[in-house]
Structure 1
Amino acid sequence: MTLSHDVAGDGPALVLLHSGVCDRRMWDAQWPALVAAGYRVVRCDFRGFGQTSVADRPYSNAEDVLELLDGISIERAALVGASYGGQVALEVAALRPDLVSALVLVCSALPGHVPSAELVELGEREDALIEAGDIAGAVELMVDTWLGPEANDAAREAVRRMQGLAFEVQLAAAEECEPIEPEVDVTAVRAPTLVLSGTHDLPDFRQIAAQLPGLLPDARHVELPWAGHLPSLERPSAITDLLVAYLRERIPIA
């Protein structure tokens, strides 16, 4: 099964992995700049998001990404992951340290993280709205929760469209299999890593960001005082500049 994806550009490979409330369109603002900077850029939709259908059998998002890269003949790549996409990036980098040249983790989740009571309660509120048939209410809960104070109307509408489509795709399926999260040891990651967090994000993700430099061999943590959970949508140009600067430092263009 191939994930729906886009590929553009030449040069070192760079893979963009989306959050669990968005799809690959969350990188629309960064996409052309990264291609222009000299990278071969790939972005994909996980199963049940965007243009990728839900799974009808057990699967792993990390294995799906590895299968995608193999299918387009990429043997080494930098990974940029937001939120749940950051967790998938860590899983890939732990499973295949030889494949990953660099990591950028944006408000990342962490394999094996035990969610706080606040995060569990959020999930319960979302589930209750969906079970009551209030899909619009569930979408607005996600928009209000995950975007920081600097998000403009365009950012809110973008998350509204992406989360709404994810609910539509997932609820339309006769049966949906939950992803299998591989047991990985993130200390196996060898890639240099930039960890970004948002001051206005939920505590779980701020704590994960503070924890990661102690787990990874070459990681730098930068907290963005203006950001919520989705800074690539909240201040697109700021995140583009951070990505280009870090990647040029770690993966120079020949």
Structure 2
Amino acid sequence: MTIWHEERGSGDPVVLLHSSVADSGMWDPQWQPLGDRFHVIRPDFRGHGRTPYAAEGPYSDAGDVADLLAALGLRRVALVGSSYGGRVALELATGHPDLVARLVLLNAGCGLPPTPDIEAFGSEEDRLIEAGDVGGAVDLNVRTWLGPEADEPVRTRLAAMQRHAFEVQLAADPEPERGRDPIDLPAVTAPALVVIGGHDLPYFRGSGRHIAEAMPDATLLDLEWAGHLPSMERPAEITSLLRDFLS
């Protein structure tokens, strides 16, 4: 299955990989301005947005993205990954180093052991889902992942994306078997900008510092105003940051 995607613009290819709390719609503020300068591609992972939550066998999101890029005939791309999308970018850069020209990682995970803050979030989300309180789980995610700069329309937009993902994934029968590809940070040699947010959970702040220290050509940027999803919280500022680093 080829995951849903759309393209805009021409020039150097840039792939936008969304957070697991959202879908490709989280990049709406960046879509037109980046497309005016680059060939931009934004896919939906399985179970998000317009890609079904189904598979004929085990799959990985990094494998899906690699297959999509091969189908599009793209051999060298810049990857911009938000949260889980950043983890997928690191998996792709590990498994296909010749494919990745540059990386921007916005509060990305990299598989570090969970810390109490992320364990507490996961336990509460599981409790709400098991109780059938999808609305409560949506609210929990919006409160947790958006920082103080996010206005009410942004919170409403994220809630809609998260609710859709929950509904699609909970309805899957059978649930597909998703795997995760390995990450080898010292082997990821592409120039990288690693962004962390001052209002994000300690788990992701620590992950960002670890990524920046372990990768050979990484720059750490700590945005004191940002929560977990800065591209939605101050979209114009992040768009400018992306244009500058990717140019």
- TM-score, normalised to structure 1's length? 0.95
> Given that residues 16 and 41 in structure 2 are in contact (C-alpha distance below 8 angstroms), is that contact kept between their aligned partners in structure 1?
yes
Tell me the residue number matched to 2:60. 60
Tell me the residue number matched to 2:93. 93
Paired residue type of 2:108: S
> Given that residues 79 and 104 in structure 1 are in contact (C-alpha distance below 8 angstroms), is that contact kept between their aligned partners in structure 2?
yes
Separation of aligned partners in 2, 1:138 and 1:188: 37
Separation of aligned partners in 2, 1:122 and 1:213: 25
Higher mean alpha-carbon deviation, 55-64 vs 238-247, is at: 55-64
The answer on 1:184 being equivalent to 2:162 is: no
Separation of aligned partners in 2, 1:187 and 1:48: 31
> Given that residues 94 and 187 in structure 1 are in contact (C-alpha distance below 8 angstroms), is that contact kept between their aligned partners in structure 2?
no
> Given that residues 54 and 172 in structure 2 are in contact (C-alpha distance below 8 angstroms), is that contact kept between their aligned partners in structure 1?
no
Separation of aligned partners in 1, 2:48 and 2:112: 23
* Cα deviation 1:87-141 (Å, max 9, x = unaligned): 000010111111101000001111x311112212211111111111111111000
Give the CA deviation at 1:183: 2.3
- TM-score, normalised to structure 2's length? 0.97
* Cα deviation 1:144-176 (Å, max 9, x = unaligned): 000001110011011101000001110111121
Tell me the residue number matched to 2:134. 135
Give the CA deviation at 1:22: 0.3
Separation of aligned partners in 2, 1:183 and 1:218: 19
Higher mean alpha-carbon deviation, 215-224 vs 182-191, is at: 182-191
Separation of aligned partners in 2, 1:184 and 1:152: 35
Give the CA deviation at 1:178: 4.2
> Given that residues 3 and 64 in structure 1 are in contact (C-alpha distance below 8 angstroms), is that contact kept between their aligned partners in structure 2?
yes
Unmatched 5+ stretches in structure 2: none
Separation of aligned partners in 2, 1:183 and 1:90: 9
Paired residue type of 1:99: L
Moved over 2 A (4+): none
Separation of aligned partners in 2, 1:167 and 1:118: 22
Q: What SS is found at the alignment partner of 2:178?
A: coil
Separation of aligned partners in 1, 2:178 and 2:14: 24
Separation of aligned partners in 2, 1:201 and 1:15: 24
> Given that residues 94 and 189 in structure 1 are in contact (C-alpha distance below 8 angstroms), is that contact kept between their aligned partners in structure 2?
yes
RMSD value, Cα: 0.9
> Given that residues 8 and 40 in structure 1 are in contact (C-alpha distance below 8 angstroms), is that contact kept between their aligned partners in structure 2?
yes
Superposed, which structure 2 residues align to 1:154-233 within 5 Å? 154-233=153-232
> Given that residues 91 and 186 in structure 1 are in contact (C-alpha distance below 8 angstroms), is that contact kept between their aligned partners in structure 2?
no
Separation of aligned partners in 1, 2:120 and 2:205: 18
Q: What SS is found at the alignment partner of 1:30?
A: helix
Unmatched 5+ stretches in structure 1: 249-254
The answer on 1:45 being equivalent to 2:44 is: yes
Separation of aligned partners in 2, 1:136 and 1:184: 34
Tell me the residue number matched to 1:251. none
Tell me the residue number matched to 2:10. 10
